A and B are shown apart, each in its own frame.
Chain A
Amino acid sequence: MRKFSISPPVAAILLAIVLFLLSGFLPNGFGNDINVAIAQATNIVRLAVFLGVIAAGQTLVIISGFEGIDLSAGAVVTLAAILTYVTVKGEDDKVLLALLISLAVGALIGFINGLGITFLKISPFVMTLGMSGVVTGLIIIINHGNVSGKVAPIMTRLIARPLSPDIPIPNAIIIWIIFGFLMWLLLERSTFGKHLFAIGVNRVTAKLSGVNVTATNLAVYSLAGALAGFGGFLLVGNTGVVFINLGQPFLFPSIAAVAVGGTLLSGGKGSYWGTMAGAIVLTLITSLLTTMQMPDSVRRMVLGATLLVMISIYGRQRGFRQ
């Protein structure tokens, strides 16, 4: 059997386009109205931005291998959002400070994850799961009197509003494209990225080739934390409010987005633009299911089945018998 080879990110994007076009035929789809279609497409991509950014850190830790995963991302998103919210207090000139705090706190939590994983040999799955509980605990301690704050107008303008009244491209999408480019630079055009892939494939080889495995691993988890922090910062700019459960719903979809984007869950191979494609596909499917007006039970089953089909197409692992 000749294997037709198509890279997963491309497959995901093609799938997204096909699904989107098909959705035009749904009772509540865009029908023949091109304006509605564009509005819907833009909206889906805009919604995918937040999932996509939160999945960026996830992409890095998954590439770093050894069952790398970050289950604390959801809690970190919430914590960063809360910190941003209370720091900014509606003032534009505090925004940069809030961003730095989000990144730093995220990085610190990620660093602690990294310490446990690299030095104490705790499996990433349970280490970050435990850390998720710890961070949620912190949020409850901080939040029990509830928090007061406000998002600054500049954040709303830069994140939640379109580029200009005439160009209806949401700023969030522009930010995402720039962000995607930076992620590409990091992964494909930096020594760190090359070392990251290396430790994802084989840590002994990496070490014997001069890669500082410990430092790279620590850096990956710290960076993933910082990116989750950035996700929280963006998210609060969009929602305008914070609440304890803000980030958690993004956690497992972020892993799914990475997998759908073709990154090997076993590490060493993958791309961020695959994750971007994955985030768009997942958001699209969720939106489609919304439009289709089915009971929740059927929707969940359809979502599960779609995911299964997608990973069956290109998520197959090598067989023992070739």
Chain B
Amino acid sequence: MKRFSWDEMMNRYPAFFAIILLVVALIINFILQPNMFARDTLNSNMRVFLPMILLAAGQAIVILGGGIDISVGGIVSIVNTILATQVGLNGSPEKMWTFVLVSLGAGILAGAINGFFIAFLRLQPIITTYATSFLYVGFALFILPNPGGGIPAEIANVYRNTTPLGLPLAFYVIAVVLLIWMYIRSTRFGNYLYAVGGNAEAAYETAVPVTWVLFSTYVVSGFMAALAGIAITMLSGSGNAEIGVPMTLTSITAVVIGGTALSGGIGGVAGPVVGAITLGIIQNIISFSRIDTWWETFVKASIIVVALAAPGVINLLRRKKV
């Protein structure tokens, strides 16, 4: 009997495969673009990846708890339109801070609405958040019907160009996110998350406050989506009610590439963070490999499918050998 095997390891280090994938992607990217680790290149890449990294981290929490959040893009849009309309292109840093707080509140509120319907009314997550995604994008359009507005360029530049100790700002944000996750992972709440995602009924019988745990995952996701919304607003400097919409499905792909199972209870947040970076790097690879334009979409999607399939192929080969 080999109980401490591959499965055990994948369970313990869910990000393992995601990291291998990232390293492979980085190596390919480096071959194609030798200056990719130069300070400027690194920074310009990381600041672009950061919104998706934050979004994927929040999505990962929901998915770990056994749910899914299709409304994160809508929340990003709300935050973006709030900042773009309320701070404005000529706003002051104080105003920015105020509305950053308001945005975070809005994200938490939106997450709480999802959580209320899913945890307390026990509606199915995928269709509920699909419905609320209409609410949220609709609300964003209500705030800002036509693209426009924005935040002051100086504030956006802080986001774009801050590189403490020569490292991109995003590195620090990622480090903070991962540290917080590692802490949460080793608290009771972390255990609750895995228990609820793994077997909600057993968790309930064990006196885990299942409803509140579920609720909180959506609140966390709403909060992280708000952070992502702030990041993308800082990146783009402008307002557009549809800005978040295409981000939702990417965030789910990032989570899965990061080794967190959609069935819940397996994985973590580090993997999805790595997954989000990997997706960005794949885009770079496509861009620097000079493949025929018309093949770009196809090749990119195929690479993603192959990346998703790789763990399965390895498992299949392993099983054959046994």
Contact = CB atoms under 8 A, between A and B. Distances in A.
A209 interface: no
B176 interface: no
Interface of B is mostly: helix
Interface stretch (A31-39, A149-157, A197-205, A303-311): A303-311
With most chain A CB atoms within 10 A of its CB, the pick from B135, B137, B304 is: B135
Interface residues of A, number: 52
B126 interface: yes
Interface of A: 67, 69, 71, 116, 119-123, 125-127, 129-134, 136-138, 140-141, 144, 252, 255-256, 259, 265-266, 295-305, 307-308, 311-312, 315-321
Contacts of A259: 124, 127
B206 to A, nearest CB: 11
B315 A304 contact: no
B253 A126 contact: yes
Interface in B130-183: 130-142, 145
A303 to B, nearest CB: 5
13 contacts: A119-B316, A121-B312, A127-B308, A129-B252, A130-B305, A131-B305, A133-B305, A134-B302, A138-B298, A256-B127, A307-B127, A312-B123, A319-B122
Contact of B305 (A127, A295, A296, A319): A127
B301 A130 contact: yes
A8 B76 CA distance: 33
B299 A137 contact: yes
A254 to B, nearest CB: 12
Nearest to A296: B141
Interface string B180-204: 0000000000000000000011001
A316 B309 contact: no
B256 A123 contact: yes
Nearest to A258: B127
A269 to B, nearest CB: 13
B263 interface: yes
Contacts of B311: 120-121
B128 interface: yes
B262 A67 contact: yes
Given A125-B262, A320-B205, 5 more contacts: A130-B301, A137-B298, A140-B294, A308-B123, A320-B210
A112 to B, nearest CB: 9
Contact of A307 (B134, B141, B249, B315): B134
Task: In the A-B complex, list the 4 residue pairs whose CB atoms are closest, starting with the nearest.
Answer: A137-B298, A120-B312, A133-B301, A304-B134
B313 A120 contact: yes
Contact of A315 (B127, B132, B136): B127
B1 interface: no
A299 B122 CA distance: 26
Contacts of A297: 138-142, 145, 241
B4 interface: no
B122 A295 contact: no
Contact of B262 (A126, A136, A266, A317): A126
A203 to B, nearest CB: 13
A123 B257 CA distance: 11
B302 A311 contact: no
Contacts, number: 163
A315 B123 contact: yes
Contacts of A133: 297, 300-301, 304-305
Contacts of A136: 297, 301
B305 A312 contact: no
Interface in B60-116: 68
Interface string B287-309: 00000001111111110110011
A307 B133 CA distance: 11
B305 A301 contact: no
Contact of A120 (B123, B140, B204, B309): B309
Nearest to A136: B297
Contacts of A71: 249
A38 B318 CA distance: 62
B137 A134 contact: no
B261 interface: yes
A130 B307 CA distance: 10
Contacts of B312: 116, 119-122
A256 B123 CA distance: 13
Contacts of B124: 259, 265-266, 311, 315, 317
B121 interface: yes
B302 A122 contact: no
Nearest to B200: A320
Contact of A129 (B126, B249, B296): B249
A301 B139 contact: yes
A138 B301 CA distance: 10
A252 B256 CA distance: 20
A308 B142 contact: no
Given A120-B313, A300-B138, A312 B263 contact: no
Given A120-B313, A130-B305, A304 B297 contact: no
A138 B298 CA distance: 6
Contacts of B302: 134, 137
A144 B121 CA distance: 48
Contact of B315 (A121, A144, A302, A303): A121
A312 B121 contact: yes
A320 B66 CA distance: 15
Contacts of B131: 256, 304-305, 307-308, 311
Contact of A300 (B134, B253, B297): B134
B252 A125 contact: yes
Contacts of A116: 305, 308-309, 312
Nearest to B294: A144
A304 B133 contact: yes
A321 B204 contact: yes
A129 B122 CA distance: 26
Nearest to A306: B131
